[in-house]
Structure 1
Amino acid sequence: MSPVDAGGPALFIGTDTDYVALVRPALDPADPGVRAAAAEAGVPPEEFAGPGDVWMVMVETGGEGDGFELPGVRDVEPAGFAGTLRAELAAASGPFTVDGGAVLRLDARPAGANACAFTVRVTPPDDPGTTLTVETGPVPTAGLLADLDAFLGSLA
């Protein structure tokens, strides 16, 4: 289970304390803030909330977290990253890298039987001089493959 609950599609890579997550949060029409904004816009809260279209990256390492929006990202980009990660993970017999563009790079390496550890580098789009690095412990391959399938299915 992921510590990230965005209500929308989410891909969690890591452990409970060291992870990177790609999320597209869903607005809750019952949330008082959403209801107030919908009333101000003159639309029902359900219409205002919609499916959500803003992607975010959330990072936590050693109990310290950060997150930021990914402006202009379409579903096809996180899906492409997840699809490439899935293919590499399924075929991996050694280390591999998945390039997620200017914002995200993932280096994977075997970490015992049926597990991988990851070094994930995240560069906030509004601060290209800063890179956040997350080192995960071993992540069970079967569980991550199932999570990737669920994530890709949620975007289909």
Structure 2
Amino acid sequence: MSGTVEAKLASLGIVVPAATAPAANYVPTVVSGNLLWISGQISVANGQMMTGKLSSEADVEAGRAAARQCAINVIAQIKSALGDLDRVKRVVKLVGFVNSAPDFSDHPKVVNGASDLFVEVFGDAGRHARSAVGVAALPFNVSVEVEAVIEFA
């Protein structure tokens, strides 16, 4: 742990897990020019999936926690792909998918769990464009999935 971003993570009490392998026929990251495209990361921590449909099985706070965990998993993929988190110049775009009941409309509040963490960790470079989308289902009934585009040096 030598970099500025790693020190910030440590000060927040965040241990970045090893990047997970894909669950199907895709790659976790793709580099194109100076952009790192990160496949959707689900809400799983220490092998335990954070599950439940928002509104009927989980509340906004549980959803925010799940989105935050997705962001930590995105950071794990960044670290695996780039080797050094200080290479991140900008979090360009996040897309958050929220497993939600038809009556649920607080998707932005849920995905803020991921957005807030990126700003906390990367400062102004963590501010990004974003979509927060409600979906009928997600793999393994997880509550949230987040994908990202990262600009790096």
* TM-score of the two chains, using structure 1 as the length reference: 0.29
Larger Rg: 1
